[in-house]
């Protein structure tokens, strides 16, 4: 089976290709070829039993998605995105990559004619406040950012092209990924990872919001698990509603710090410095806190059960088991 | 105030321009100029106190929406659409007019820079079965047709461009319009109008579904009222959720026939012939039956209270008060 990963150089894309290389299969089927596509060359994981091609390009450029579909991949992951902050700052760029890129991909898939499985990385950003206490699977899409709008449109296109049998699509609304490895980034959500990542690495982290802020999380390992499960799922049972809110852990900042203290001790938890930032507080106030995710659980998607699990996965996967 | 009506040659477009000509105003403001745009020349209503220009063109063609916005209309109605059946048969044409046309319009409005009020005619087709008994205002958008998908995407774009202050958008999810004047059309929903219209005109009508089928209706006069109200509404109170399900009358076929009998007598009601059509029955089974429309009612949108009202409006507006 030929697998195409669009957005393969990103954090989730790299972890997904590592997992494919290590498993050698997707569900029941053996991977015989992979193509990694991004705006920069994606790293090729070691130890794969199948050939891996690396392609570089600009997804919405004319002919680009046709070129990618010429290899007739049987599974396509679309992880390419201009992220929330950048899509908000650069309106045209966000629509070009997140909407035109997705639509071109769907049209090229339709033209290719073999209706591959397309796993589309959507986002909680398709939802916008005000919210009920726990957001049900049938809650309406009212994004409050251009990024969320573009993802919601991607979900609608995915469902319609699937209904017409042009593609076999599954959309996943990923939780906020925590703990993100690497350097702190400037996303408004960055502190959710940094208050765990930096203390565990012996560094100070700044917490810009109150301890009562609640949000929805899953580890990078869980996110890769969602993608792999979505690629091999019998999607006929989904019916026409092809995008699914992924399971996760709901936790307040206070609960996250308590979990950090439990796993790594008081000294590590003391590396968090509280500096309230009203700008970030206001943004975060509009974010979802908890989902029911009944459909995802029935379909066999699994996430962590607690922030402790999320922290331990970070220590295992990124820190070789060592706390600084 | 300059008013631009896109899709002005359609049934609702013609009734809207007649209303504008007769009122001479939209809410508090006087209409000083109107432009009627469609793929065919829209009829110019008699008796207007302001100049009316007629433009013909292909909405998504390059430069077309820029040309329309060069007149700097302060209110724009976008009623242009490839309807449900045709959008389902001709996938590319539906996306071209319903999605690209709307997106081009929004981009030209953004480029014009004066953020006019845009009233967008959306549809109940943004919803798809299964439904709760009464569909609430926060029910999710899961269209089951390409037309519904294109309208749902239009709603998302309208909200995002409004949030960015590029436009001042209001989207209206119109009920099934009943009684549509004119000849029977081939839409699956056509029988809802024809079982009232044809008997009132002395002709036989065919009813393809059972008496227990329930749906959601408003008259053409109510639809024009929604558009006019939306054009002059203080939209700040809408917040970020800019599309609203319009009020209507929920009625079964049995209730519609009883109302026809009450208004026009047994002889007229006896002109309905029952010929079940399993194909139409299956389509209609996926349609919504009832909405709560709490937001619309709070915002001052009003519809008929009963099918009897709807029938009497048809007799007044289309039949000069006469039943055949």
Q: Encode pLDDT of A232-283 as tens digits.
A: 999 989 999 999 999 999 999 999 999 999 999 999 999 999 999 998 898 8
Residue to mutate among B138, B160, B162, B295, with most A CBs inside 10 A, is B160
Say if CB A7 and CB A18 are below 8 A apart: no
Which band of pLDDT confidence, cut at 50, 70 and 90, is reported for residue B324?
A: confident
Say if CB A193 and CB A207 are below 8 A apart: no
Q: Is the pLDDT of residue A185 over 80?
A: no
Residue pairs spanning A and B at CB distance below 8 A: 52
pLDDT score, position A186: 66
Q: Three-state SS for B212?
A: coil
The answer for residues whose C-beta is within 8 angstroms of residue B180's C-beta and 6 or more apart is B11, B190, B193, B197, B220
- Which residues in chain A have Cβ-Cβ distances shorter than 8 Å to B159? 142-143, 149
Report which of B149, B260, B266, B277 is spatially closest to residue B213, judged by C-alpha positions.
Answer: B277
Closest residue on chain A to B243 (Cα): A142
On whether residue A235 sits in a domain, the answer given is yes
Q: Is residue B270 located within the same domain as residue B145?
A: no
Q: Is residue B224 located within the same domain as residue B235?
A: yes
On whether residue A187 sits in a domain, the answer given is no
Residues constituting chain A: 324
Place of tokens 């202050």: B165
Dist. CA A80–CA A283, nearest whole Å:
24
Q: Across the interface, which of B91, B142, B163 has its CB nearest the CB of A241?
A: B142
Q: Three-state SS for A79?
A: coil
| Domain region containing B277 | 190-216+248-318
pLDDT score, position B186: 66
On whether residue A283 sits in a domain, the answer given is no
On whether residue A215 sits in a domain, the answer given is no
List phi, psi (to 5°) of A125: -65, -10
- Which residues in chain A have Cβ-Cβ distances shorter than 8 Å to B163? 144
HSE-up of residue B223 (Cα within 13 Å, Cβ side): 28
Q: Is residue B160 located within the same domain as residue B41?
A: yes
Q: Is residue B231 located within the same domain as residue B128?
A: yes
Q: Is residue B158 located within the same domain as residue B64?
A: yes
Q: A149 vs B141: CB contact, 8 Å cut-off?
A: no
Residue to mutate among A141, A160, A171, with most B CBs inside 10 A, is A160
pLDDT score, position A3: 98
The answer for residues whose C-beta is within 8 angstroms of residue B269's C-beta and 6 or more apart is B199, B257, B260, B261
Q: A149 vs B159: CB contact, 8 Å cut-off?
A: yes
Closest residue on chain B to A146 (Cα): B160
Whole-model pTM: value is 0.96
The answer for residues whose C-beta is within 8 angstroms of residue B198's C-beta and 6 or more apart is B184, B204, B205, B271
HSE-up of residue B281 (Cα within 13 Å, Cβ side): 11
Helices of type H across B9-100: 11-23, 64-69, 84-89, 91-94
Chain B contact for A123 (CB, 8 A cutoff): no
The Cα of A64 is separated from the nearest Cα of chain B by a number of Å equal to 20
On whether residue B324 sits in a domain, the answer given is no
Pairing of strands A243-245, A168-174: parallel
Counting beta carbons within 10 angstroms of the beta carbon of residue A215, is it exposed (0 to 12), middle (13 to 18) or buried (19 or more)? buried
On whether residue B179 sits in a domain, the answer given is no
Q: Across the interface, which of A142, A153, A164 has its CB nearest the CB of B91?
A: A164
Dist. CA A35–CA B142, nearest whole Å:
32
Dist. CA B20–CA B297, nearest whole Å:
23
Neighbours of B193 (CB within 10 A): 24
Active site residues of B: 147
Q: A146 vs B159: CB contact, 8 Å cut-off?
A: no
ipTM over 0.90: yes
Name the domain count of chain A.
1
Q: Across the interface, which of B141, B143, B149 has its CB nearest the CB of A140?
A: B141
CATH number at residue B294: 3.90.25.10
Task: Give the DSSP letter string of A137-183.
Answer: TTB----SSHHHHHHHHHHHHHHHHHHTTS-EEEEEEEPEE-SPPSS
How much is the mean pLDDT over chain B? 95
How much is the mean pLDDT over chain A? 95
Say if CB A73 and CB A105 are below 8 A apart: no
Q: Is the pLDDT of residue B143 over 70?
A: yes
Q: Is residue B21 located within the same domain as residue B84?
A: yes
Q: Is residue B121 located within the same domain as residue B49?
A: yes
Say if CB B6 and CB B59 are below 8 A apart: yes
CATH number at residue B233: 3.40.50.720
Q: Is residue B99 located within the same domain as residue B198?
A: no
Q: Is the pLDDT of residue B191 over 90?
A: yes
Q: Is residue B197 located within the same domain as residue B151?
A: no
Closest residue on chain A to B129 (Cα): A240
Chain B contact for A273 (CB, 8 A cutoff): no
Q: A149 vs B160: CB contact, 8 Å cut-off?
A: yes
In this structure, what DSSP letter does residue B126 have?
A: G
Dist. CA A15–CA A12, nearest whole Å:
5
pLDDT score, position B79: 98
Q: Is residue B30 located within the same domain as residue B96?
A: yes
Q: Is residue B13 located within the same domain as residue B131?
A: yes
- pLDDT exceeding 90 applies to what percent of chain B? 89
Which band of pLDDT confidence, cut at 50, 70 and 90, is reported for residue B322?
A: very high
Q: Three-state SS for A41?
A: coil
SS (H, E, C) B267-305: HHHCCEEECCCHHHHHHHHCCCCCECCHHHHHCCCCCCC
The Cα of A127 is separated from the nearest Cα of chain B by a number of Å equal to 10
B71 φ/ψ sector (left φ>0, alpha ψ -120 to 50, else beta): alpha
On whether residue B181 sits in a domain, the answer given is no
pLDDT score, position A228: 98
Q: Is residue B11 located within the same domain as residue B111?
A: yes
Task: Give the DSSP letter string of B132-188.
Answer: -SSB-TTB----SSHHHHHHHHHHHHHHHHHHTTS-EEEEEEEPEE-SPPSS---ST
- Which residues in chain A have Cβ-Cβ distances shorter than 8 Å to B139? 138, 140
Say if CB B275 and CB B207 are below 8 A apart: yes
Q: Three-state SS for B21?
A: helix
On whether residue A137 sits in a domain, the answer given is yes
Interface list for A 89-108 with B (CB within 8 A): 91
Report which of A77, A81, A108, A83 is spatially closest to residue A97, judged by C-alpha positions.
Answer: A81
Q: Encode pLDDT of A90-101 as tens digits.
A: 999 999 999 999
Place of tokens 């800019």: B242
Dist. CA A153–CA A146, nearest whole Å:
10
Intra-chain end-to-end CA distance of chain B, in Å:
42
Q: Encode pLDDT of B124-135 as tens digits.
A: 999 998 899 999
Task: Give the DSSP letter string of A203-266.
Answer: --EEE-S-TT-EEEEE-HHHHHHHHHHHHHS-GGGGTT--EEEPP-EEEEHHHHHHHHHHHH-H
Closest residue on chain A to B90 (Cα): A164
pLDDT score, position B254: 98
């Amino acid at each position: 089976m030929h697998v195409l990963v669009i957005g393969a150089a990103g954090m989730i894309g790299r972890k997904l290709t590592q997992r494919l290389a290590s498993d050698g299969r997707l569900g029941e089927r053996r991977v015989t070829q992979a193509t990694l596509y991004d705006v920069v060359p994606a790293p090729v994981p070691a130890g794969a039993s199948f050939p891996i091609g690396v392609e570089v390009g600009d997804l919405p450029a004319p002919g680009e998605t046709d070129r990618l579909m010429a290899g007739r991949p049987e599974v396509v992951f679309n992880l390419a995105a201009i992220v929330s902050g950048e899509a908000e700052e650069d309106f045209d760029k966000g629509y070009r990559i997140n909407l035109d890129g997705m639509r071109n991909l769907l049209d090229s898939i339709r033209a290719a004619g073999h209706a591959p499985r397309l796993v589309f990385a959507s986002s909680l950003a398709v939802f916008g406040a005000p919210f009920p206490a726990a957001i049900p699977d049938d809650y309406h899409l009212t994004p409050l950012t251009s990024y969320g709008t573009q993802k919601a449109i991607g979900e609608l296109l995915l469902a319609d092209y699937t209904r017409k049998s042009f593609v076999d699509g599954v959309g996943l609304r990923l939780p906020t990924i925590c703990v993100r490895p690497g350097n702190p980034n400037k996303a408004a959500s960055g502190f959710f990872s940094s208050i765990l990542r930096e203390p565990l690495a012996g560094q100070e982290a700044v917490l810009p919001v109150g301890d009562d802020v609640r949000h929805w999380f899953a580890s990078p390992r869980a996110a890769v698990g969602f993608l792999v499960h979505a690629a091999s799922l019998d999607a006929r049972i989904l019916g026409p509603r092809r995008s699914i809110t992924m399971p996760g852990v709901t936790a307040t900042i206070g609960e996250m710090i308590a979990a950090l203290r439990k796993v790594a001790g008081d000294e590590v938890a003391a590396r968090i410095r509280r500096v309230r930032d009203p700008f970030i507080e206001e943004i975060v106030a509009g974010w979802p806190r908890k989902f029911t995710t009944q459909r995802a659980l029935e379909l066999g998607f699994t996430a962590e059960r607690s922030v402790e699990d999320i922290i331990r996965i970070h220590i295992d996967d990124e820190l070789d088991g060592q706390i600084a």
